Amino acid sequence: MIHDPKKWEDFDSSNIVVFLYKWRKPLFIVIIVALIGSWFFSLPWFITPKYKSTVVMFPASTNSVSKALLTEQRQVGQDIMSFGEDEQAEQMMQILNSNKIRDRVARKFNLMEHYDIDSTARYKYSLLFNEYERNISFRRTPFMAVQIIVFDTDPQLAADIANTIAALLDSIKNEMQHERAIQGLAVVEIEHEALQQEVNTIVDSLVTLGKLGVNDVEYQSQVLNQQVAIAIMEGNTEAQRQLQKRLDILGQYGGIYMSLKNALEYKTEQLTMIQARLKEATVDARESLPQKFIVSDAFKAEKKSYPIRWLVIVVSTLSALFLTIIVIMIIEKIAAANARKKFQLGQE
């Protein structure tokens, strides 16, 4: 009996409608089994439900108390009420992802025990950090805000962790800035003390010159010369001698007096500037501002966010159906290839 090879070509799956209808019963069984299986295995017995809590916040535009409140001529973005921009948001993201916040959160909430990690395990910290990153994440919104997103099996704990991380942002960043501010304050204090000593030295020197009769060189020189002229006209040699003695003192110390006077004016201006810097540095070292604007605090979730059962069921069912179709197509292709081979052998 001779068979037409075209018969075996019609056996492929090019016509999807015919193919689905032909295998409708096995496919229907697969769908039913997948639905029941995915529903059953997505129960809390197999997948522990998790609750989601979120904090939404904007970064502050300025972090310096002195620049925000004390400086008369503020630059753009130094207003205490202004929201931060892209740069401040990126800084916030880096701090939120730092190990300083992670370690403090892990210690405060005893996450190693909470995540059921064996404290004697060789790589216990790696396991802890992996669980931390799986359950706690940070992301930026299209509106330049930053979100703290926490998933946990305990809804209250998820909210507490999210709010704690938001609070730690202030303390961590303020600690970093205060450390630098204290160093800056020390530098300004040394400079202020040195400048104050210079001013005091100049003042002491001027006081010494004042005791010698040198108080205002220009005015004194003009008055003494007039008096000398009068004494010469009156022929008072004793007055001439006394006046000349005072003129000699002015001539000897007048240059020094003028130099010290100019130096005192310059150093006084510098001292005024450094005192303003000292005031700003002191405020920055002792005071702090919030580093964020909280838009939405985290709260205890009323219903779970993970897993989304309907999504698990749909994806599982479609995946099983798709895989079954591929397997059937492969089986048909193999059967068609074997049939062609037998047909060719029969013709020979």
DSSP β-bridge partners for residue 148? 55, 138
Angle between helices 86-96 and 99-108 (to 10 degrees): 50
What is the C-alpha separation between 80 and 132, in angstroms, rounded?
34
The position carrying tokens 């100049």 is 202
State the pLDDT at residue 272. 87
Q: Is 79 exposed, middle or buried (0-12, 13-18, 19+ CB in 10 A)?
A: middle
Contacts of 114 (CB under 8 A, 6+ apart): 157
What is the C-alpha separation between 293 and 291, in angstroms, rounded?
7
**Buried-exposed string 165-181: b where 16+ CB fall within 10 A, e elsewhere:** bbebbbebbbeebbeeb
What is the C-alpha separation between 147 and 58, in angstroms, rounded?
9
> What DSSP assignment string belongs to 193-248?
HHHHHHHHHHHHHHHHHHHTT-S-HHHHHHHHHHHHHHHHHHT-HHHHHHHHHHHH
What is the C-alpha separation between 161 and 150, in angstroms, rounded?
7
Taking the domains of the chain in order of start, what are their residue ranges? Answer: 188-286
Digits of tens for pLDDT over the chain (348 positions)?
A: 444 444 444 444 456 777 777 778 888 888 888 888 877 776 666 667 889 999 999 988 766 656 655 555 545 445 556 666 788 888 899 999 999 999 999 999 999 999 999 888 888 999 999 999 999 999 998 888 899 999 998 999 999 999 999 999 988 888 888 888 888 888 888 998 999 998 898 888 877 776 776 676 665 666 656 665 666 666 666 666 666 666 666 666 667 777 878 888 888 888 888 888 888 888 877 767 777 888 889 999 888 766 666 777 788 888 888 898 888 888 878 877 777 777 666 665
